[in-house]
Amino acid sequence: MIYDPIDIALILVKIGLVFVVILTLAAYLVFAERKVLAWIQDRKGPNRAGPFGLLQPLADLIKLLTKEDFRPIGADKWLFYLAPAMAAIPAIMIFAVIPFGAPLTLFGHTVQMQVSDLNVGLLLFMALSSVAVYGVALGGWASNSKYALLGSIRGLAQLISYELSMGLSLVPVVMLARSFRLSDIVNAQSGCWFIVYQPLAFTIFLISIAAECKRIPFDLPEAEGELVAGYHTEYSGMRFGLFFVGEYINIIVLGGLAATFFLGGWHGPWLPPVIWFTLKVFSFAFLFIWMRGTMPRLRYDQLMHFGWKVLTPLALVNIVVTGWWLVLRG
């Protein structure tokens, strides 16, 4: 195979750009979450570092980097050190398959606004999100702490349960788009967004991704009232920061995927495609923050009951109905 140097350079630039933008966005999402939560609770939120507190992420970063890197006695050394990376890297890798804008033409090359247009993009997302479980599981297990272990066991059970309903809720999308390629799914929605055809699948997917990124109604793995901080109880400094940022990268990525699968990706009138995509991602992020400010935490049996006895059967019924509808429509 012969590679064009300009193509390779473009791919590298895209990877670098996505990496920097996602990390910055994740850091500012932390800031946005603190601000919005503060407004919901009639407070002002962080406003000391820089104008309107805009340098707060930087201050947090310096604090996390200069903290002691602590390892508890009896912790499994290598797994303890590796687990934060295992949690954060799959999250950021998923973004490789998300198309975030319309294809551009630069130097006579058509540039996909997407790092890699895999023909199994949707499956890659499923694969990487199922692998992200290892960070939670090994981090909690390697800490040699009861709270961390309880948190990681809860996390394991929750993530594998809700991955099922998440995957099943995406089957109708694939049936409608007739492709696993994410750019095809986006192009299939140029006329009408899939949320119009599949409101139920969208709801199931939304609830499942809230559980996937361990947001508040489903934040049992890190329930601070019960388990101190759950699976990252024993982590300090930048290793904790990696878990933390990984969670917010997850919000951005899953928001981007929800936009891609149901809200037409970068399609939208008047505004440029990249802006549309960013708007959709931000509205999902805002929804998650808003939910965090509103809802209490589920009990563990309620969580499992809801995942296995409500969401999964509903998603299966939805697949069957969509299949019949597609067959009857011809």
Q: Which residues bind other proteins (CB under 8 A)?
A: 1, 36, 38-44, 76, 79, 118-120, 123-124, 126-128, 130-131, 133-134, 137-138, 141, 149, 152-153, 156-157, 159-160, 163, 180, 290-291, 293-295
Q: How far is the CB of 284 from other proteins (least distance, A)?
A: 15
Residue 276 CA neighbour count, 13 Å, CB half: 18
Kindly state the smallest distance separating residue 293's Cβ from other proteins, in Å. 5
- Residue 40: exposed, middle, or buried by beta-carbon count in 10 A (0-12, 13-18, 19+)? middle
**Minimum CB distance to other proteins, residue 42 (Å):** 5
Our CB check for other proteins shows the closer of 77 and 329 to be: 77
d(CA 125, CA 127): 5
The type of residue at 192 is C
Nearer to other proteins, 15 or 123 (CB): 123
Nearer to other proteins, 138 or 245 (CB): 138
Decide whether 163 or 247 has the Cβ nearer to other proteins.
Answer: 163
Q: Which residue from 45, 17, 20 is spatially nearest to 30, judged by alpha carbons?
A: 45
Please state at what angle helix 121-131 crosses helix 133-142, rounded to 10 degrees.
Answer: 10
Give the separation between CA 259 and CA 106, rounded to whole angstroms.
26
Cβ at position 149, least distance to other proteins in Å: 7
State which residue, 68 or 301, has the beta carbon closest to other proteins.
301
Number of H helices, E strands in the chain: 14, 2
Please state the closest distance from residue 273 (CB atom) to other proteins, in A. Answer: 27
Nearer to other proteins, 237 or 293 (CB): 293
Q: How far apart are CA 213 and CA 306, in angstroms?
A: 17
CA atoms of 164 and 206, how far apart (whole Å): 13
Residue closer to other proteins by CB (options 229, 295) is: 295
CB of 13 to other proteins, least distance (A): 21
DSSP letter for 194, please: H
Pick 133 or 249: Cβ nearer other proteins? 133
* Minimum distance of other proteins from residue 328's CB (angstroms): 20
Decide: 212 and 249 in contact? Cβ < 8 Å. no
Q: Which of 68, 228, 246 is nearest to 149 (CA)?
A: 228
The CB-of-64 to other proteins minimum distance in angstroms stands at 26
Both structure tokens of 212: 């996937």
Integer angstrom CA distances of residue 324 from 33, 141, 155, 319, 330: 42, 45, 36, 9, 10
